[in-house]
Structure 1
Amino acid sequence: MVERRGASLWLTHAGLILGVLVIVFPIWLAFVASTVTQAEIVRPPMPLLPGDQFLENYRKALVSGINAPVATMLLNSAVMALGIAFGKIAISLLSAFAIVYFRFPGRRVFFWLIFLTLMLPVEVRIVPTYEVVARFGMLNSHAGLILPLIASATATFLFRQFFMTVPDELVEAARVDGARPMRFFLDILLPMSRTNIAALFVILFIYGWNQYLWPLLITTDPQMNTIVMGIKQMFPSGDDWADWPVIMATSILAMLPPVLVVIFMQKLFIRGLVESEK
């Protein structure tokens, strides 16, 4: 391996540092704005160092909020994101397992029907989906937020492709040992799929956390607002007054859960994306 030295190495590091600063600076400004008073924000120049209102602003956001307490909205978003992530993974694992290891008429047809649903995102089928949810009485509920979004053709495809790489000898050995299909699935396939599940969990958690259109459509109770909805509703319209410290504190709080998920699952996430042999 040739070690890079000289000006090119310094230019590479300078470019990386500059990129990090460009990304981090707006986040730093949002954090600073969440620790100062309203007067300090609207009076130029805006401070670049944190103020002394950190505890007060974050307490006000978590307990009172503007339309609803931020703690409640964070809980709703967490329930929705976890429900979508676990639901998609569970259904996709079972679907891929059935398609790969069971022989039944129309097996390939059913797989391609599942795959074709990629062309039908929520935005395309939102009206009939809303009607079904309303008829089942799931408006303003966590079930209504989660259930219409837990099917995933992408995850089913990815698990199918992985299961097809599992050696046939492993399947035969499990059959000789008397393992039933679900025992083979639970004891062999699931542990082997650990990194794939972790990578998909990170992606699907962020997908569920960032949902805006569907929660906006089916929730009318402020206590069922998700954090993404809450931030949007906090912004003023027209000449309305905005409590910018609380809005910035809410934005920082909304960013923390996805960031923590990525940080704590980073190794498994990377392994799940780059490993080709299990």
Structure 2
Amino acid sequence: MRAPEGIGPAEGRAAAAARRRRLLDRAWTHGWLVLGVLVFALPIWITLVGSTHDAATIGRGEVPLLPGHHAIGNYATAWAEGGGRFRTTAAAVMLWNSALMALLIAAGKIAISLLSAYAVAFFSFPGRMAFFWMIFLTLMLPVEVRIIPTFQVMVDLALINTMAGLVVPLVASATATLLFRQFFLTIPDEYVEAAKMDGAGPLRFFRDVVVPLSVTNIAALFVILFIYGWNQYLWPLLVVNDSSLETIVVGLSKMIGTGDAQNEWNTIMATAVLAMLPPVAVVVLMQRWFVRGLTETEK
């Protein structure tokens, strides 16, 4: 094969070697990516397959890799009756509680963070930055650190075993306030001046200008905060004793017995699969908004 005109044999061999190196690098990269996907996907696949077999198959220690024939029965039992030895709460009830709690936490965090960030970014008042740094410093105090005084406050307010007790202590978010403040600082001053010339007050400017510009950021934060609320374990375990308010994450842990008791792993795995569906659905449905909210910088 003759080399292209103007390219000598040495240059042709060098170009071919460079192409081979690029192909090899690409193959290695894709190979590692596929391996990473398999590592993450294998436990989910085993859970999904295990939810389609009977309890005896899994109880014998077998780890099937192909679906069985008991999927409908397992999921119907988990949905209507619950799984595990005790069958305390049906998955439908726990899913509803978790979804409601996650939605309220996400909506409450976004609403409070929008207002607090708006006040810090657009208003001048004594101690403005001091209040901002007080909010920022709460990042150093996770729920586990302040859980005892928070629990005592819930007891004093008679909010134990209530949805409000599950949601209210987790509503405030320093992270969302910080992110919204940084975004608001990038809004051009011309927008503020134009709103003043049109006679718009602070609330109208917030409603008609700031919130529409923040839609993608709100969507991205909603996905993160919904999953944060959905995965809560310690606080719901502490503040709720009523099975009618039990969340899916806490309920899953209670399904697994201790000692020599035989666990009904088929219904437990079916419940685990059901528990994964809502957050996965939120991420899939809002994926475009999520990516835009994290990457978009133009106003």
Give the alignment partner of residue 7 of structure 1, picking from 24, 44, 49: 24
Tell me the residue number matched to 2:10. none
Q: Is the 8 A contact 2:91 2:248 kept in 1?
A: yes
* 1:89-104 aligned within 5 A: 89-104=110-125
- Distance in 1, Cα, partners of 2:155 & 2:38: 46
Give the alignment partner of residue 56 of structure 2, picking from 15, 24, 39: 39
Give the alignment partner of residue 181 of structure 1, picking from 178, 197, 202: 202
Farther-moved stretch of structure 1 (250-259 vs 10-19): 10-19
The answer on 1:120 being equivalent to 2:141 is yes
Give the alignment partner of residue 277 of structure 2, picking from 250, 256, 263: 256
Shift of 1:44: 4.8
Farther-moved stretch of structure 1 (28-37 vs 7-16): 7-16
Q: Is the 8 A contact 2:52 2:67 kept in 1?
A: yes
After superposition, the CA RMSD in angstroms is 1.5
Larger Rg: 2
Give the alignment partner of residue 212 of structure 1, picking from 216, 233, 256: 233
* 1:1-278 aligned within 5 A: 5-65=22-82, 66-278=87-299
Structure 1: runs of 5 or more not aligned: none
- Distance in 1, Cα, partners of 2:270 & 2:115: 41
SS at match of 1:122: coil
- Distance in 2, Cα, partners of 1:9 & 1:92: 43
Shift of 1:275: 2.0
Q: Is the 8 A contact 2:59 2:262 kept in 1?
A: no
Shift of 1:43: 2.8
SS at match of 1:6: helix
- Distance in 1, Cα, partners of 2:277 & 2:66: 20
Farther-moved stretch of structure 1 (266-275 vs 185-194): 266-275
The CA deviation string for residues 64-106 of structure 1, in whole angstroms up to 9 with x for no partner, is 0022011100111001111110000000000011111112111
TM-score normalised by L of structure 2: 0.89
- Distance in 1, Cα, partners of 2:141 & 2:45: 38
Shift of 1:219: 0.6
- Distance in 1, Cα, partners of 2:265 & 2:78: 11
Aligned length, in residue pairs: 277
Farther-moved stretch of structure 1 (12-21 vs 126-135): 12-21
- Distance in 1, Cα, partners of 2:61 & 2:103: 41
The CA deviation string for residues 201-243 of structure 1, in whole angstroms up to 9 with x for no partner, is 1111111000000000011111111000001001111112211
- Aligned AA (1:56): G
TM-score normalised by L of structure 1: 0.96
Farther-moved stretch of structure 1 (120-129 vs 205-214): 120-129
Shift of 1:41: 1.2
Identity of aligned residues (%): 59
Provide closer, same or farther for how the CA distance between residues 143 and 44 of structure 1 changes in structure 2, counting only shifts above 3 A.
Answer: closer
Consecutive aligned runs of 4 or more in structure 1 exceeding 3 Å deviation:
2-5
SS at match of 1:236: coil
- Distance in 2, Cα, partners of 1:249 & 1:185: 45
The CA deviation string for residues 125-164 of structure 1, in whole angstroms up to 9 with x for no partner, is 1111111111211111111100011001111111111111
- Distance in 2, Cα, partners of 1:69 & 1:32: 21
